[in-house]
């Protein structure tokens, strides 16, 4: 899973003018050295094209080869993420929503007056590009699910390791005050029956 670029654009009110980049962070190091400038140019071209065709309040994902461009237009301020096809869609839109929240906290409504592309780096966006390479960082539910899956594996290992110690389990059954004499006898009979089956 890879995020190549996160951009925020001001979308114009009319169709005659192109969207303007108000903040952006791009990492094209995974491209060949001679392809990097072309990759940056294509990202910018695709960002303007998709942002222009994303209506206010709309979220959309556009597929291009093994990449997806996810776009979210919030009242004329459009966040776009360029991710590979394996990055979960819900995590992508969670990230774009967070980025828009942070941008508006930091800059307020100043984006409305921007007329030309802003090339100054915004440290928050640079950090987000690195931090959210792991989709679980962007999507709290995905992170919770991953933690639950890890806990389930740990629990299965713990139960398996207890079951491997048959002799100790036998002595625990004998000493247990939770089991009646009948239950202890049932456990011993079941174990003997199972041993007979395994010998055959």
Query: What is the percentage of the chain residues whose pLDDT exceeds 70?
Result: 68
Report the alpha-carbon distance of residue 127 to residue 34 in Å, rounded.
25
DSSP for 162-185, written as a single string:
HHH-HHHHHHHHHH-SSS-HHHHH
Total-model pTM: 0.69
CA–CA dist 97, 134 (Å, integer): 16
Closest CA to 121 of 14, 7, 30, 2: 7
Identify each DSSP E strand in 75-137 by its residue range. 77-84
pLDDT number for residue 147: 62
At 195 the pLDDT is 64
From first CA to last CA, the distance across the chain in angstroms is 51
Residue pair 7/46 in contact by the 8 Å Cβ criterion: no
Residues 6+ apart with CB under 8 A from 100: 8, 72, 74, 77, 79
The segments of the chain whose pLDDT lies below 50 read 159, 165, 199-200
Give residue 167's Cα distance to chain centre.
45
Structure tokens at 184: 């202890």
8-state DSSP, 111: G
The pair of structure tokens assigned to 135 is 């989709």
pLDDT tens digit sequence for 115-139: 888 888 899 999 999 988 887 777 7
Q: Give the pLDDT score at 101.
A: 93
Which percentage of the chain shows pLDDT scores above 90?
34
């Amino acid at each position: 899973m890879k995020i190549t670029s996160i951009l925020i654009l001001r979308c114009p009110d009319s169709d005659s003018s192109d969207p303007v980049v108000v903040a952006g962070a791009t990492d094209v190091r995974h491209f060949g050295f001679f392809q990097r400038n072309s990759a940056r140019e294509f990202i910018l071209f695709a960002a303007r094209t998709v942002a222009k065709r994303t209506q206010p309040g709309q979220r959309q994902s556009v597929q291009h080869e093994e990449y997806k461009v996810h776009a979210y237009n919030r009242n004329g301020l459009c966040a776009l993420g360029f991710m590979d096809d394996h990055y979960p869609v819900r995590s992508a839109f969670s990230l774009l929503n967070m980025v828009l929240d942070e941008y508006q906290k930091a800059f307020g409504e100043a984006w409305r007056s921007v007329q030309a592309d802003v090339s100054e780096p915004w440290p928050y966006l640079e950090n987000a590009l690195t931090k959210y390479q792991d989709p679980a960082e962007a999507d709290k539910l995905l992170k919770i699910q991953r933690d639950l899956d890890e806990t389930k594996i740990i629990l299965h290992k713990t139960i398996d390791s207890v079951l491997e110690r048959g002799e100790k389990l036998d002595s625990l059954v004998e000493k247990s005050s939770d089991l009646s004499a009948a239950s202890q006898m049932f456990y011993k009979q079941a174990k003997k029956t199972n041993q007979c089956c395994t010998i055959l």
